[in-house]
Structure 1
């Protein structure tokens, strides 16, 4: 029996019925898949800069992998796979150039207007910036997704300052559509599946990219003190050395864990691929078993259950994320690059504030002209800069800043 009712299928702006035979949720996924915002992710940093290596992930390939993990896990719990797939494809749409480093810069540049947050930007793209549908007053409502799909794209269903975290899911400018979602601060189970799948893909594939790129090895001694410091700083302040040491020991006991260094051969790549497959199955399987044990066999949809993830599984995921973060994102070789990226984005925002609409792309120039004060004009500039890829941000800087 279908557990999604008419309220879940409602759109912000009503649309006439379609005769294509596709469900509302299948149409949602198609709209996201064909969006320009999704295509731009191909040029945005995942861990290492987009285009720096033919092997490593960019934001688009990462999102596709998240969607595959999420679709299978969500389907096993009874979620509509199209909703989970859509949430996973969308989860990084709001990321600016240079990944999380770009988020830091734009959050600083937007401090006077409520900051910048990639997840709030995702909601803004889906419900306003991506061109598809307009309301009766001529205002863009973005892709006009169903309530169930759009709510499942909201990873942090609260405003800035409402929770004890820097993360938030909506700018004040976008409150009407957020309130229409009626989340009451809750995550749908589809959003929870997306979030865990992001962590799984992030942890497993960033390690794979780091090994192939020669940033570190899983064989021999690992710099665990440095990595565990990152684990507490970035992921879980409660994690103790004993817990993380035990998690690493469990992972190293897996039959798929490499016993020799990565050599770049097909045999080495096969060993690495066996490890990544086993890790994904291990983490997703643990969450499935724990969820079914707590909530039953389902189907679980919307707000009818919680995704349960064992602490041991979370520790193992954080171990892998921390190894990649310590050896790649915090590597001395990257510090100067990260600083110059932030300077570049600050420079673009400052230049566009000075020059105004004449330097903006047509869609953002329209928004700039329609803005009724400096705060709204600055938000348009932030939207413009956030939309750029790594490469186009550098090209704009060469053209506008010299």
Structure 2
């Protein structure tokens, strides 16, 4: 993507309060087909209509899509339903704090688009596959997809060849979708962390996105997206676990069970030095609420109470963050960074403040879902099988490519300059697959008589 001129769109796109012209620039300037829309409305529409977003319907969130505990149960959440719920939470929280709601919604919708089949288990397996070409990380893959893989906008490179620039979103939208603004091994506090947001060969567009941004600092909209993600999946994974019968709310009162929950949470969702008593107090605060789903039995009344509880939890977590952030930053002119004194909390003019007590409550819900849903014996057996599918599929594609590659990835494979780049193309294809299509392609190579 080098050599492309970086200029502002020459359109009559409306100005957006709180955002300067640099925020609404696109890598490839282009006119709006529908004058009058804001740049962030265009971003949201592009993400919403993308094939990558639709594919999330077939990708695991916690429980494999298509599985049910009872015939009448609603199917468990997928990456798509999670992304839609995250977007709803983020849009409202962002708007309450002065962010452009379309911008935050676009970031929430796109934040998981790079995640591979089989959820975080697939991500870990694909990271093993990609260890010799820069590793794999779902967030870095999301950036790659948004700026390179998802077909929407093509430009000519320095050699006159047509190359994809992905959805060609604005700088602010790509920045808002960047949860980890650093490369592999670049975590500012923990260089050994597996979390990163950009691959080495995507650094040119990443550096363009981050022009003028403080090093390693997430923009305010990305912080809103990140907290909305935590809120959505902690609450809804807990809801799914209860609804499926995996979580018994009465067990959360038993000390041995609670000790297991603290063990899951500490180091994974809260700092290593967290006192378990803090987590006990967090869970007690939730259990003591009148709306807590005590004695959930799956009846219609119980289901309605559970739905009310999820709404109460989301409101509780969001209002706590909104109140603490307002108290710390307010809406004072001159505190909105690139907003030019608009009084809005945007870009690099503020930090989202989430009280420690609220983070602990959210962490406890995450740990409950891990303990009672993801750590079930049958889930571990399924995850082991999924890792085998990813590893064997990658091996087959590497050995047989370009056979087995879809046309889009076959073309990229043919143009790749070396083995490392060709391996990355194989990883890109696997990451794009749904759970079902990964298994189908694996069966094609390993069980050719299966149709």
- What TM-score do the two structures reach when normalised by structure 2? 0.87
Q: 1:118-267, aligned counterparts within 5 Å?
A: 118-137=138-157, 138-163=162-187, 164=190, 165-182=193-210, 183=213, 184-220=215-251, 221-222=253-254, 223-236=257-270, 237-260=272-295, 262-267=296-301
SS of match in other structure, 1:234: coil
Higher helix share: 1
- For 1:328 and 1:139, the matched residues in 2 are separated by 43
Partner of residue 338 from structure 1, selected from 378, 383, 393: 383
User: Deviations for 1:274-315, whole angstroms, at most 9, x for unmatched residues?
Assistant: 100000000000000000000013410111100000000000
Q: Which residue of 1 aligns with 2:313?
A: 279
> Which consecutive segments of 4 or more residues in structure 1 shift more than 4 A?
none
Alignment check: 8 A CA contact 2:65 2:75 kept: no
Q: Which residue of 1 aligns with 2:356?
A: 311
- For 2:107 and 2:310, the matched residues in 1 are separated by 23
Alignment check: 8 A CA contact 1:231 1:239 kept: no
Superposition RMSD in Å: 1.1
Alignment check: 8 A CA contact 1:66 1:201 kept: yes
Q: Which residue of 1 aligns with 2:399?
A: 354
Structure 1 stretches of 5 or more lacking a match?
A: none
Q: Which residue of 1 aligns with 2:83?
A: 63
Equivalent residues, number: 401
- For 2:32 and 2:302, the matched residues in 1 are separated by 52
Name the larger-Rg structure: 2
CA deviation after TM superposition for structure 1 residue 360, in Å: 0.3
SS of match in other structure, 2:425: helix
Partner of residue 52 from structure 1, selected from 58, 62, 67: 67
Alignment check: 8 A CA contact 1:93 1:125 kept: yes
- For 1:341 and 1:97, the matched residues in 2 are separated by 9
Structure 2 stretches of 5 or more lacking a match?
A: 1-15, 69-73, 332-342
Q: Which residue of 2 aligns with 1:30?
A: 45
- For 1:171 and 1:12, the matched residues in 2 are separated by 18
Alignment check: 8 A CA contact 2:66 2:75 kept: no
- For 1:321 and 1:313, the matched residues in 2 are separated by 13
- For 2:33 and 2:55, the matched residues in 1 are separated by 29
